[in-house]
Structure 1
Protein backbone atom coordinates (compact mmCIF):
# COMPACT_ATOMS: atom_id res chain seq x y z
CA UNK A 1 0.00 0.00 0.00
CA UNK A 2 1.26 3.48 -0.84
CA UNK A 3 2.75 5.31 2.15
CA UNK A 4 1.53 8.64 0.82
CA UNK A 5 -2.00 7.26 0.70
CA UNK A 6 -1.69 6.02 4.29
CA UNK A 7 -0.45 9.40 5.44
CA UNK A 8 -3.23 11.16 3.58
CA UNK A 9 -5.86 8.90 5.13
CA UNK A 10 -4.62 9.74 8.64
CA UNK A 11 -5.03 13.48 8.18
CA UNK A 12 -8.00 15.06 10.00
CA UNK A 13 -10.94 16.01 7.84
CA UNK A 14 -11.24 19.86 7.76
CA UNK A 15 -15.01 19.59 7.48
CA UNK A 16 -15.17 17.47 10.64
CA UNK A 17 -12.97 19.94 12.51
CA UNK A 18 -15.13 22.86 11.44
CA UNK A 19 -18.29 21.04 12.49
CA UNK A 20 -16.79 20.20 15.89
CA UNK A 21 -15.66 23.80 16.41
CA UNK A 22 -19.11 25.09 15.45
CA UNK A 23 -20.79 22.64 17.85
CA UNK A 24 -18.45 23.64 20.69
CA UNK A 25 -19.13 27.32 20.00
CA UNK A 26 -22.89 26.73 20.01
CA UNK A 27 -22.64 24.79 23.29
CA UNK A 28 -20.68 27.61 24.94
CA UNK A 29 -23.26 30.12 23.73
CA UNK A 30 -26.10 28.06 25.19
CA UNK A 31 -24.35 27.80 28.56
CA UNK A 32 -23.61 31.53 28.57
CA UNK A 33 -27.23 32.37 27.86
CA UNK A 34 -28.34 29.90 30.55
CA UNK A 35 -25.96 31.53 33.03
CA UNK A 36 -27.49 34.92 32.30
CA UNK A 37 -30.97 33.46 32.71
CA UNK A 38 -30.04 31.88 36.03
CA UNK A 39 -28.53 35.10 37.29
CA UNK A 40 -31.66 37.08 36.40
CA UNK A 41 -33.82 34.50 38.13
CA UNK A 42 -31.86 34.28 41.38
CA UNK A 43 -30.31 37.75 41.80
CA UNK A 44 -33.05 38.76 44.24
CA UNK A 45 -31.84 36.09 46.70
CA UNK A 46 -28.42 37.71 47.17
CA UNK A 47 -29.43 40.21 49.92
CA UNK A 48 -31.10 37.46 51.98
CA UNK A 49 -28.15 35.10 51.62
CA UNK A 50 -25.71 37.86 52.59
CA UNK A 51 -27.86 38.77 55.63
CA UNK A 52 -27.87 35.18 56.84
CA UNK A 53 -24.12 35.06 56.26
CA UNK A 54 -23.65 38.04 58.55
CA UNK A 55 -25.75 36.36 61.23
CA UNK A 56 -23.75 33.12 60.96
CA UNK A 57 -20.46 34.99 61.17
CA UNK A 58 -21.58 36.81 64.30
CA UNK A 59 -22.88 33.59 65.86
CA UNK A 60 -19.57 31.80 65.33
CA UNK A 61 -17.55 34.51 67.03
CA UNK A 62 -20.03 34.95 69.89
CA UNK A 63 -19.97 31.19 70.53
CA UNK A 64 -16.28 31.48 71.41
CA UNK A 65 -14.62 30.47 68.13
CA UNK A 66 -11.46 32.27 67.06
CA UNK A 67 -11.17 34.33 63.89
CA UNK A 68 -9.42 31.56 61.96
CA UNK A 69 -11.75 28.84 63.23
CA UNK A 70 -14.74 30.91 62.14
CA UNK A 71 -13.28 31.54 58.69
CA UNK A 72 -12.44 27.84 58.25
CA UNK A 73 -15.95 26.82 59.27
CA UNK A 74 -17.77 29.17 56.91
CA UNK A 75 -15.57 28.19 53.96
CA UNK A 76 -15.77 24.42 54.47
CA UNK A 77 -19.18 23.78 56.00
CA UNK A 78 -21.32 26.22 53.98
CA UNK A 79 -24.58 25.14 55.62
CA UNK A 80 -26.18 27.77 57.79
CA UNK A 81 -28.68 25.56 59.62
CA UNK A 82 -26.00 23.00 60.47
CA UNK A 83 -23.65 25.73 61.66
CA UNK A 84 -26.28 27.19 63.98
CA UNK A 85 -27.12 23.70 65.28
CA UNK A 86 -23.56 22.73 66.19
CA UNK A 87 -22.31 26.05 67.58
CA UNK A 88 -23.89 25.51 71.03
CA UNK A 89 -22.43 21.99 71.04
CA UNK A 90 -18.98 23.34 70.23
CA UNK A 91 -19.27 25.92 72.99
CA UNK A 92 -20.27 23.18 75.43
CA UNK A 93 -17.29 20.98 74.37
CA UNK A 94 -19.62 18.21 73.23
CA UNK A 95 -17.86 15.08 71.87
CA UNK A 96 -16.94 15.43 68.20
CA UNK A 97 -19.01 12.42 67.10
CA UNK A 98 -22.18 14.04 68.52
CA UNK A 99 -21.38 17.27 66.66
CA UNK A 100 -20.90 15.42 63.36
CA UNK A 101 -24.10 13.40 63.79
CA UNK A 102 -26.06 16.54 64.63
CA UNK A 103 -24.80 18.30 61.51
CA UNK A 104 -25.63 15.25 59.39
CA UNK A 105 -29.18 15.04 60.72
CA UNK A 106 -29.82 18.74 60.21
CA UNK A 107 -28.51 18.50 56.65
CA UNK A 108 -30.49 15.41 55.67
CA UNK A 109 -32.70 17.59 53.50
CA UNK A 110 -29.74 17.99 51.15
CA UNK A 111 -30.02 14.28 50.38
CA UNK A 112 -33.49 15.01 49.01
CA UNK A 113 -32.17 18.00 47.09
CA UNK A 114 -29.34 15.96 45.60
CA UNK A 115 -31.68 13.16 44.59
CA UNK A 116 -33.74 15.68 42.63
CA UNK A 117 -30.80 17.37 40.89
CA UNK A 118 -28.21 14.58 40.50
CA UNK A 119 -29.77 12.81 37.48
CA UNK A 120 -29.35 15.98 35.42
CA UNK A 121 -25.57 15.84 35.95
CA UNK A 122 -25.07 12.07 35.70
CA UNK A 123 -23.13 12.54 32.45
CA UNK A 124 -20.37 14.52 34.20
CA UNK A 125 -17.19 13.03 35.75
CA UNK A 126 -17.48 12.20 39.45
CA UNK A 127 -15.20 15.04 40.58
CA UNK A 128 -17.40 17.62 38.85
CA UNK A 129 -20.50 16.12 40.47
CA UNK A 130 -18.80 16.37 43.85
CA UNK A 131 -17.88 19.99 43.09
CA UNK A 132 -21.45 20.94 42.18
CA UNK A 133 -22.76 18.96 45.14
CA UNK A 134 -20.89 21.29 47.47
CA UNK A 135 -22.85 24.27 46.12
CA UNK A 136 -26.25 22.57 45.95
CA UNK A 137 -28.66 23.95 48.54
CA UNK A 138 -31.94 25.67 49.26
CA UNK A 139 -31.60 28.35 46.58
CA UNK A 140 -30.63 25.94 43.81
CA UNK A 141 -33.49 23.63 44.79
CA UNK A 142 -35.86 26.55 44.54
CA UNK A 143 -34.89 27.47 40.98
CA UNK A 144 -33.28 24.51 39.18
CA UNK A 145 -36.14 21.95 39.22
CA UNK A 146 -38.58 24.64 38.11
CA UNK A 147 -36.40 25.53 35.12
CA UNK A 148 -35.41 21.93 34.33
CA UNK A 149 -38.21 19.50 35.35
CA UNK A 150 -37.63 15.76 35.62
CA UNK A 151 -38.61 15.09 32.00
CA UNK A 152 -35.57 17.11 30.80
CA UNK A 153 -33.08 14.81 32.55
CA UNK A 154 -31.60 13.62 29.23
CA UNK A 155 -31.25 17.15 27.83
CA UNK A 156 -27.99 18.55 29.29
CA UNK A 157 -27.89 21.80 27.31
CA UNK A 158 -27.83 24.88 29.51
CA UNK A 159 -27.97 23.10 32.83
CA UNK A 160 -24.40 23.73 33.95
CA UNK A 161 -24.58 27.43 33.13
CA UNK A 162 -27.92 27.85 34.89
CA UNK A 163 -26.82 25.89 37.96
CA UNK A 164 -23.58 27.85 38.30
CA UNK A 165 -25.48 31.14 38.01
CA UNK A 166 -27.84 30.29 40.87
CA UNK A 167 -25.12 28.80 43.08
CA UNK A 168 -21.85 30.72 42.66
CA UNK A 169 -23.17 34.25 43.38
CA UNK A 170 -25.01 32.93 46.44
CA UNK A 171 -21.84 31.29 47.71
CA UNK A 172 -19.88 34.52 47.35
CA UNK A 173 -22.68 36.50 49.02
CA UNK A 174 -22.74 34.06 51.93
CA UNK A 175 -18.98 34.14 52.41
CA UNK A 176 -18.77 37.93 52.18
CA UNK A 177 -21.64 38.26 54.65
CA UNK A 178 -20.07 35.72 57.00
CA UNK A 179 -16.69 37.44 56.90
CA UNK A 180 -18.34 40.79 57.64
CA UNK A 181 -20.15 39.20 60.58
CA UNK A 182 -16.94 37.60 61.85
CA UNK A 183 -14.94 40.81 61.65
CA UNK A 184 -17.66 43.08 63.03
CA UNK A 185 -19.25 40.72 65.56
CA UNK A 186 -18.27 42.94 68.47
CA UNK A 187 -19.41 46.10 66.65
CA UNK A 188 -22.91 45.03 65.52
CA UNK A 189 -25.39 45.21 68.44
CA UNK A 190 -27.86 42.35 68.78
CA UNK A 191 -30.66 44.93 68.97
CA UNK A 192 -30.30 45.39 65.20
CA UNK A 193 -31.87 41.91 64.86
CA UNK A 194 -30.16 41.12 61.56
CA UNK A 195 -31.34 37.53 61.78
CA UNK A 196 -34.98 38.66 61.59
CA UNK A 197 -34.13 40.86 58.59
CA UNK A 198 -32.71 37.80 56.86
CA UNK A 199 -35.91 35.87 57.61
CA UNK A 200 -38.03 38.63 56.09
CA UNK A 201 -35.83 38.67 53.00
CA UNK A 202 -36.21 34.90 52.59
CA UNK A 203 -40.00 35.21 52.86
CA UNK A 204 -39.96 37.89 50.18
CA UNK A 205 -38.00 35.50 47.94
CA UNK A 206 -40.26 32.52 48.63
CA UNK A 207 -43.57 34.22 47.85
CA UNK A 208 -42.86 34.79 44.10
CA UNK A 209 -41.95 31.08 43.79
CA UNK A 210 -45.54 30.08 44.62
CA UNK A 211 -46.56 29.89 40.99
CA UNK A 212 -49.50 27.44 41.24
CA UNK A 213 -51.86 25.73 43.67
CA UNK A 214 -49.57 22.72 44.13
CA UNK A 215 -46.69 24.97 45.23
CA UNK A 216 -49.05 26.83 47.57
CA UNK A 217 -50.14 23.53 49.14
CA UNK A 218 -46.51 22.52 49.66
CA UNK A 219 -45.64 25.85 51.29
CA UNK A 220 -48.68 25.85 53.60
CA UNK A 221 -48.20 22.23 54.70
CA UNK A 222 -44.44 22.50 55.19
CA UNK A 223 -44.86 25.74 57.15
CA UNK A 224 -47.49 24.17 59.41
CA UNK A 225 -45.34 21.08 59.99
CA UNK A 226 -42.26 23.18 60.73
CA UNK A 227 -44.17 25.14 63.41
CA UNK A 228 -45.79 22.02 64.89
CA UNK A 229 -42.49 20.10 65.00
CA UNK A 230 -40.30 22.95 66.22
CA UNK A 231 -39.61 21.17 69.51
CA UNK A 232 -38.11 18.08 67.88
CA UNK A 233 -34.39 17.61 68.67
CA UNK A 234 -31.60 18.28 66.18
CA UNK A 235 -34.00 20.41 64.14
CA UNK A 236 -35.60 17.30 62.72
CA UNK A 237 -38.75 19.36 62.32
CA UNK A 238 -37.09 21.09 59.36
CA UNK A 239 -36.45 17.79 57.59
CA UNK A 240 -39.96 16.58 58.39
CA UNK A 241 -41.42 19.80 56.99
CA UNK A 242 -39.44 19.43 53.76
CA UNK A 243 -40.52 15.80 53.20
CA UNK A 244 -44.20 16.30 54.05
CA UNK A 245 -44.36 19.60 52.16
CA UNK A 246 -42.96 18.01 49.01
CA UNK A 247 -45.36 15.08 49.34
CA UNK A 248 -48.29 17.49 49.75
CA UNK A 249 -47.26 19.42 46.64
CA UNK A 250 -47.00 16.20 44.61
CA UNK A 251 -50.42 14.98 45.77
CA UNK A 252 -51.99 18.38 45.05
CA UNK A 253 -50.41 18.41 41.60
CA UNK A 254 -51.97 15.03 40.78
CA UNK A 255 -55.41 16.17 41.91
CA UNK A 256 -55.07 19.35 39.84
CA UNK A 257 -54.14 17.30 36.77
CA UNK A 258 -57.24 15.13 37.27
CA UNK A 259 -59.42 18.23 37.49
CA UNK A 260 -58.02 19.44 34.18
CA UNK A 261 -58.89 16.13 32.54
Structure 2
Protein backbone atom coordinates (compact mmCIF):
# COMPACT_ATOMS: atom_id res chain seq x y z
CA UNK A 1 0.00 0.00 0.00
CA UNK A 2 1.45 3.34 -1.00
CA UNK A 3 1.43 6.59 0.95
CA UNK A 4 -1.54 7.92 -1.02
CA UNK A 5 -3.68 4.90 -0.11
CA UNK A 6 -2.68 5.23 3.56
CA UNK A 7 -3.63 8.91 3.59
CA UNK A 8 -6.95 8.09 1.93
CA UNK A 9 -7.71 5.39 4.53
CA UNK A 10 -6.77 7.78 7.31
CA UNK A 11 -9.14 10.41 5.93
CA UNK A 12 -11.93 7.84 5.71
CA UNK A 13 -11.33 6.75 9.32
CA UNK A 14 -11.36 10.35 10.54
CA UNK A 15 -14.58 11.04 8.68
CA UNK A 16 -16.14 7.91 10.17
CA UNK A 17 -15.07 8.93 13.68
CA UNK A 18 -16.43 12.41 13.09
CA UNK A 19 -19.76 10.96 11.97
CA UNK A 20 -19.91 8.84 15.14
CA UNK A 21 -18.94 11.73 17.46
CA UNK A 22 -21.30 14.26 15.87
CA UNK A 23 -24.48 12.95 17.60
CA UNK A 24 -22.62 12.84 20.93
CA UNK A 25 -21.39 16.41 20.58
CA UNK A 26 -24.86 17.57 19.63
CA UNK A 27 -26.41 15.69 22.56
CA UNK A 28 -23.87 17.20 24.99
CA UNK A 29 -24.67 20.70 23.76
CA UNK A 30 -28.39 19.96 24.07
CA UNK A 31 -27.91 18.79 27.66
CA UNK A 32 -25.86 21.85 28.51
CA UNK A 33 -28.47 24.14 26.96
CA UNK A 34 -31.26 22.41 28.90
CA UNK A 35 -29.48 22.72 32.23
CA UNK A 36 -28.07 26.21 31.67
CA UNK A 37 -30.97 28.12 33.28
CA UNK A 38 -30.47 26.20 36.54
CA UNK A 39 -26.74 26.84 36.95
CA UNK A 40 -27.00 30.24 38.63
CA UNK A 41 -29.39 28.88 41.25
CA UNK A 42 -27.17 25.85 41.83
CA UNK A 43 -24.14 28.10 42.34
CA UNK A 44 -26.07 30.33 44.74
CA UNK A 45 -27.26 27.29 46.70
CA UNK A 46 -23.67 26.00 46.82
CA UNK A 47 -22.47 29.35 48.14
CA UNK A 48 -25.04 29.25 50.97
CA UNK A 49 -23.86 25.76 51.94
CA UNK A 50 -20.20 26.83 51.71
CA UNK A 51 -20.82 29.74 54.07
CA UNK A 52 -22.82 27.51 56.43
CA UNK A 53 -19.94 25.02 56.64
CA UNK A 54 -17.47 27.69 57.73
CA UNK A 55 -19.94 29.35 60.10
CA UNK A 56 -20.67 26.00 61.77
CA UNK A 57 -17.06 25.73 62.87
CA UNK A 58 -15.40 23.72 60.10
CA UNK A 59 -11.96 24.86 59.01
CA UNK A 60 -11.38 25.81 55.39
CA UNK A 61 -9.62 22.47 54.58
CA UNK A 62 -12.43 20.53 56.27
CA UNK A 63 -15.09 22.48 54.37
CA UNK A 64 -13.22 21.95 51.09
CA UNK A 65 -13.00 18.22 51.76
CA UNK A 66 -16.69 18.03 52.60
CA UNK A 67 -17.90 19.84 49.51
CA UNK A 68 -15.64 17.83 47.18
CA UNK A 69 -16.35 14.42 48.72
CA UNK A 70 -19.99 14.68 49.78
CA UNK A 71 -21.54 16.87 47.04
CA UNK A 72 -24.99 16.84 48.64
CA UNK A 73 -26.22 20.19 49.89
CA UNK A 74 -29.22 18.99 51.87
CA UNK A 75 -27.23 16.26 53.61
CA UNK A 76 -24.40 18.69 54.33
CA UNK A 77 -26.75 21.22 55.94
CA UNK A 78 -28.51 18.50 57.91
CA UNK A 79 -25.23 17.14 59.29
CA UNK A 80 -23.60 20.49 60.16
CA UNK A 81 -25.62 21.13 63.38
CA UNK A 82 -24.88 17.56 64.45
CA UNK A 83 -21.16 18.03 63.83
CA UNK A 84 -21.21 21.31 65.76
CA UNK A 85 -23.04 19.58 68.63
CA UNK A 86 -20.45 16.75 68.58
CA UNK A 87 -23.14 14.15 68.00
CA UNK A 88 -22.08 10.51 67.60
CA UNK A 89 -20.73 9.70 64.18
CA UNK A 90 -23.47 7.14 63.54
CA UNK A 91 -26.14 9.81 64.08
CA UNK A 92 -24.44 12.11 61.57
CA UNK A 93 -24.14 9.36 58.97
CA UNK A 94 -27.68 8.12 59.56
CA UNK A 95 -29.08 11.62 59.14
CA UNK A 96 -27.17 12.21 55.92
CA UNK A 97 -28.24 8.79 54.65
CA UNK A 98 -31.93 9.42 55.30
CA UNK A 99 -31.81 12.87 53.72
CA UNK A 100 -30.21 11.35 50.61
CA UNK A 101 -32.50 8.33 50.31
CA UNK A 102 -34.17 10.01 47.33
CA UNK A 103 -31.06 9.15 45.32
CA UNK A 104 -31.91 5.47 45.69
CA UNK A 105 -35.07 6.22 43.71
CA UNK A 106 -33.11 8.32 41.23
CA UNK A 107 -30.63 5.48 40.74
CA UNK A 108 -33.42 2.98 40.18
CA UNK A 109 -34.85 5.24 37.47
CA UNK A 110 -31.55 6.13 35.85
CA UNK A 111 -29.75 2.80 36.20
CA UNK A 112 -31.54 0.84 33.45
CA UNK A 113 -30.51 3.44 30.87
CA UNK A 114 -26.82 2.80 31.55
CA UNK A 115 -26.69 -0.79 32.83
CA UNK A 116 -24.31 -1.64 29.99
CA UNK A 117 -21.57 0.69 31.30
CA UNK A 118 -18.73 -0.55 33.54
CA UNK A 119 -19.50 -0.24 37.24
CA UNK A 120 -16.71 2.29 37.77
CA UNK A 121 -18.26 4.62 35.22
CA UNK A 122 -21.72 4.16 36.73
CA UNK A 123 -20.29 4.84 40.19
CA UNK A 124 -18.68 8.04 38.90
CA UNK A 125 -21.88 9.18 37.20
CA UNK A 126 -23.76 8.51 40.42
CA UNK A 127 -21.36 10.76 42.31
CA UNK A 128 -21.87 13.77 40.02
CA UNK A 129 -25.62 13.31 39.62
CA UNK A 130 -28.04 15.78 41.15
CA UNK A 131 -31.76 16.18 41.65
CA UNK A 132 -32.30 18.48 38.67
CA UNK A 133 -29.95 16.65 36.32
CA UNK A 134 -31.75 13.34 36.85
CA UNK A 135 -35.17 14.97 36.50
CA UNK A 136 -34.21 16.80 33.30
CA UNK A 137 -32.66 13.65 31.80
CA UNK A 138 -35.74 11.53 32.49
CA UNK A 139 -37.92 14.26 31.03
CA UNK A 140 -35.93 14.02 27.78
CA UNK A 141 -35.61 10.20 27.80
CA UNK A 142 -38.62 8.73 29.65
CA UNK A 143 -38.29 5.30 27.99
CA UNK A 144 -35.47 2.76 27.86
CA UNK A 145 -35.25 2.51 24.09
CA UNK A 146 -31.64 2.83 22.86
CA UNK A 147 -31.07 6.33 21.48
CA UNK A 148 -27.72 7.70 20.37
CA UNK A 149 -26.32 10.42 22.59
CA UNK A 150 -28.04 9.51 25.87
CA UNK A 151 -24.81 9.41 27.86
CA UNK A 152 -23.51 12.61 26.28
CA UNK A 153 -26.78 14.38 27.06
CA UNK A 154 -26.51 13.26 30.69
CA UNK A 155 -22.92 14.50 30.90
CA UNK A 156 -23.99 17.81 29.38
CA UNK A 157 -26.35 18.17 32.32
CA UNK A 158 -24.14 16.78 35.06
CA UNK A 159 -20.71 18.32 34.49
CA UNK A 160 -21.84 21.98 34.33
CA UNK A 161 -24.09 21.34 37.33
CA UNK A 162 -21.17 19.93 39.33
CA UNK A 163 -18.83 22.78 38.39
CA UNK A 164 -21.50 25.39 39.21
CA UNK A 165 -22.07 23.84 42.62
CA UNK A 166 -18.39 23.56 43.45
CA UNK A 167 -17.68 27.10 42.25
CA UNK A 168 -20.44 28.53 44.41
CA UNK A 169 -19.43 26.37 47.37
CA UNK A 170 -15.77 27.39 47.14
CA UNK A 171 -16.76 31.06 46.98
CA UNK A 172 -18.94 30.57 50.05
CA UNK A 173 -16.18 28.80 51.95
CA UNK A 174 -13.60 31.52 51.36
CA UNK A 175 -16.08 34.35 51.94
CA UNK A 176 -17.69 32.76 55.00
CA UNK A 177 -15.19 34.09 57.51
CA UNK A 178 -15.51 37.62 56.10
CA UNK A 179 -19.32 37.86 56.33
CA UNK A 180 -20.82 39.02 59.68
CA UNK A 181 -22.94 36.42 61.45
CA UNK A 182 -25.71 38.98 62.04
CA UNK A 183 -26.59 38.84 58.36
CA UNK A 184 -28.75 35.85 59.20
CA UNK A 185 -27.08 33.19 57.06
CA UNK A 186 -29.03 30.46 58.81
CA UNK A 187 -32.26 32.04 57.63
CA UNK A 188 -30.81 32.36 54.11
CA UNK A 189 -30.00 28.66 54.16
CA UNK A 190 -33.55 27.85 55.25
CA UNK A 191 -34.94 29.90 52.38
CA UNK A 192 -32.63 28.12 49.95
CA UNK A 193 -33.87 24.74 51.13
CA UNK A 194 -37.48 25.87 50.77
CA UNK A 195 -36.82 27.04 47.21
CA UNK A 196 -35.64 23.54 46.33
CA UNK A 197 -38.23 21.65 48.38
CA UNK A 198 -41.41 23.39 47.22
CA UNK A 199 -41.10 22.34 43.53
CA UNK A 200 -40.61 18.73 44.68
CA UNK A 201 -44.06 18.66 46.30
CA UNK A 202 -45.67 17.22 43.20
CA UNK A 203 -48.79 15.58 44.67
CA UNK A 204 -50.94 15.27 47.78
CA UNK A 205 -48.85 12.42 49.16
CA UNK A 206 -45.67 14.51 49.09
CA UNK A 207 -47.53 17.46 50.64
CA UNK A 208 -48.85 15.29 53.48
CA UNK A 209 -45.35 13.92 54.05
CA UNK A 210 -43.93 17.44 54.29
CA UNK A 211 -46.65 18.59 56.71
CA UNK A 212 -46.22 15.54 58.94
CA UNK A 213 -42.42 15.90 58.91
CA UNK A 214 -42.75 19.57 59.85
CA UNK A 215 -45.07 18.79 62.74
CA UNK A 216 -42.86 15.96 64.03
CA UNK A 217 -39.74 18.14 63.82
CA UNK A 218 -41.42 20.71 66.09
CA UNK A 219 -42.76 18.14 68.55
CA UNK A 220 -39.43 16.26 68.69
CA UNK A 221 -37.28 19.38 68.91
CA UNK A 222 -36.00 18.56 72.40
CA UNK A 223 -34.67 15.10 71.54
CA UNK A 224 -30.89 14.78 72.13
CA UNK A 225 -28.37 15.07 69.28
CA UNK A 226 -31.12 16.67 67.17
CA UNK A 227 -32.61 13.25 66.52
CA UNK A 228 -35.94 15.00 66.00
CA UNK A 229 -34.82 15.83 62.46
CA UNK A 230 -34.09 12.19 61.71
CA UNK A 231 -37.41 11.04 63.19
CA UNK A 232 -39.30 13.73 61.27
CA UNK A 233 -37.75 12.74 57.94
CA UNK A 234 -38.46 9.04 58.43
CA UNK A 235 -42.07 9.57 59.58
CA UNK A 236 -42.69 12.04 56.75
CA UNK A 237 -41.37 9.62 54.13
CA UNK A 238 -43.44 6.73 55.52
CA UNK A 239 -46.55 8.93 55.55
CA UNK A 240 -46.07 9.94 51.92
CA UNK A 241 -45.52 6.33 50.82
CA UNK A 242 -48.56 5.04 52.72
CA UNK A 243 -50.83 7.71 51.25
CA UNK A 244 -49.44 7.08 47.77
CA UNK A 245 -50.01 3.32 47.97
CA UNK A 246 -53.33 3.22 49.84
CA UNK A 247 -55.16 6.28 48.51
CA UNK A 248 -53.70 7.87 45.38
CA UNK A 249 -52.79 4.79 43.34
CA UNK A 250 -56.13 2.99 43.95
CA UNK A 251 -57.95 6.21 43.07
CA UNK A 252 -56.02 6.54 39.79
CA UNK A 253 -56.65 2.88 39.02
CA UNK A 254 -60.39 3.28 39.56
CA UNK A 255 -60.36 6.32 37.31
CA UNK A 256 -58.58 4.41 34.55
CA UNK A 257 -60.96 1.45 34.87
CA UNK A 258 -63.92 3.80 34.74
CA UNK A 259 -62.64 5.49 31.58
Task: Report the TM-score, using the length of structure 1 for normalisation.
Answer: 0.75
Aligned to 2:89: 96
Post-superposition shift, 1:237? Answer: 6.0
1:85 aligned residue (78, 81, 103): 78
Unmatched runs of 5 consecutive residues or more in structure 1 = 1-13, 208-215
Distance change in 2, residues 1:34/1:87 (3 Å): same
**How many residue pairs get matched?**
236
Aligned to 2:234: 236
Contact 1:226/1:240, CA 8 A, preserved across alignment: no
| Cα RMSD (Å) | 3.5
Contact 1:63/1:91, CA 8 A, preserved across alignment: yes
Aligned to 2:156: 165
Q: Secondary structure, in 3 states, of the residue corresponding to 1:61? A: helix
1:195 aligned residue (189, 194, 201): 189
Query: Distance in 2 between the 1:242 and 1:162 partners?
Result: 32
1:67 aligned residue (60, 74, 80): 60
Q: After superposition, what is the alpha-carbon deviation per residue over 1:104-125, rounded to whole angstroms, capped at 9, x for unaligned?
A: 1211110100010011111111
Matches for 1:1-261 after TM superposition, within 5 Å? 18=12, 24-152=17-145, 155-189=146-180, 190-191=183-184, 194-195=188-189, 198=192, 202=196, 206=199, 218-219=202-203, 221-230=205-214, 231=216, 233-234=229-230, 235-236=233-234, 239=237
Post-superposition shift, 1:145? Answer: 0.7
Query: Distance in 2 between the 1:41 and 1:255 partners?
Result: 36
Query: Distance in 2 between the 1:140 and 1:107 partners?
Result: 15
Post-superposition shift, 1:239? Answer: 4.7
Contact 1:46/1:169, CA 8 A, preserved across alignment: yes
Query: Distance in 2 between the 1:27 and 1:163 partners?
Result: 17
Unmatched runs of 5 consecutive residues or more in structure 2 = 1-7, 218-228
Distance change in 2, residues 1:202/1:100 (3 Å): closer
Give the 4+ runs in structure 1 shifted more than 4 A: 20-23, 199-204, 237-259
Distance change in 2, residues 1:27/1:175 (3 Å): same
Query: Distance in 1 between the 2:235 and 2:161 partners?
Result: 25
